[in-house]
Structure 1
Amino acid sequence: MVHSQSAAGMGLKQDFPISLEVQLLGGLGRGTRTTANLCTPGTNVVMNDKLVTAHCINSSSITYESDGWTRVEAMVLGDSVLKHIVNGDTVLAYSKPQMGGGSANNTNPGVLVNGRMLTEGFIALQAESA
């Protein structure tokens, strides 16, 4: 996650930090499964000059099936340009990250301010498995 809320700033029962998640996924052996997708707990972004409020946006990456290494970069220039780059190819680009939307429930009062621009934050790692 980039532009992430600090752990200290989270509510006791908050389910996910306000952040921009660079979602890393491997293939399942069938079908398409892109990586470096964007999920937006408590945030919205601008893509192609339009405010995007969908919680998850798929990248244009290919599906990575093998156990080989995949290089993923997140380029973050404040709130002006954010890019997800996989093996040297830009697979997702957006700008103007801001607070808003759902999926960051039980925040402390006054923390989630709809429309407040995210110009800085933490880098956070989160993992889950089946």
Structure 2
Amino acid sequence: MKHTRLLLIVLPMLFGAFQSGQVVVEQESTSKWVTLFNGKDLNNWLPKIVGHKLGENFGNTFRVKDGILSIRYDAYDSFNNRFGALYYNKKFTNYRLKVEYRFVGNTTPGAPSWGYRDGGIQYHCQDPASLDINQPFPVCLEYNLLGGNGKDERPSGEICANGIYVEINGKRNASYCTPPTVKKTLHGDQWVTAEIDVQDGKIKHYINGEEVLEFENPNYDSANALAKKFILNGNDLVKDGYISLQSNSHPMDFRKIEIMEYR
């Protein structure tokens, strides 16, 4: 009788656990990689370049050829602080973003001193339609993409926060850009895979599958005039936003842009 009672107690628990396991599998299976760049054109992407209206692709800065999304400046007489970005036209909340990129060629004449092999994946961006025509960067977080010069260390993957602050090891970031914990310098024109994982306020940066930085709790900075307008009813939490690719003055190529949204 004791064994029978034990089975009556344990079996429902096992069955319940099995059912619970099934639910977890089903939830995970609904999350799949979706391609944001179709390899053919800029469908669903919107350029915004300083001094130009949203949607105006000045100088054909963003272009697609042979399955590659390129950022080029051959139509610029001088870069002249014409920072820009290419925005995907959907807001995202919890996700894993995967981007394959490379730096090519030479920095554009008139570029800032830091522009050499400098790019970025901006996320948690303000709506691009809300940018001022001369606003160089959105209120956002940025995975800063950096390339080496062949000899010096220049780690990629740092977090730059524009109008948003985050917590790193439990403390608010002390500077605009914070270097990665794991330092990886990427020289030459090699293809690199950058990933950003965002889950309920916890964010991780990856390079070629290796985690290089972790932080959490993004909040709008009330001391920032641009960010302040996004704080509604005292709520400064940043839970979602748009994704964009920076045009910072150095030519770049992208061949794969994928996202997996968490359900």
Q: CA deviation at 1:51?
A: 1.3
Q: Distance in 2 between matches of 1:28 and 1:63?
A: 9
1:78-123: CA deviations, max 9, x gaps?
Answer: 32x1000001111010000111177x76x38723679711101111
Match of 2:187 among 54, 65, 68: 65
**Matching of residues 1-130 of structure 1 within 5 Å:** 1-59=122-180, 60-79=182-201, 81-100=202-221, 107=226, 110-111=229-230, 116-129=236-249
TM-score by length of 1: 0.84
Q: List runs of 5+ in structure 1 lacking aligned partners.
A: none
CA distance 1:109–1:37, shift in 2 (3 Å):
closer
What percentage of residue pairs aligned between the two structures are identical?
29
Cα pair distance change 1:122/1:27, threshold 3 Å: same
Report the alpha carbon displacement of residue 72 of structure 1 after superposing the two structures with TM. 0.8
Moved >4 Å (runs of 4+): 112-115
The 2-side partners of 1:55 and 1:61 are apart by 18
Q: Using a 3 Å threshold, how does the CA distance of structure 1 residues 90 and 22 change in structure 2: closer, same or farther?
A: same
More helix by proportion, 1 or 2?
A: 2
TM-score normalised to structure 2 length: 0.44
53-62 or 17-26, which moves further after superposition?
53-62
Q: How many residues align?
A: 127
Structure 2 unaligned regions, length at least 5: 1-121, 251-263
Q: Cα RMSD (Å) of the superposition?
A: 2.4
CA separation of 1:4/1:29 partners in 2, compared to 1, >3 Å: closer, same or farther?
A: same
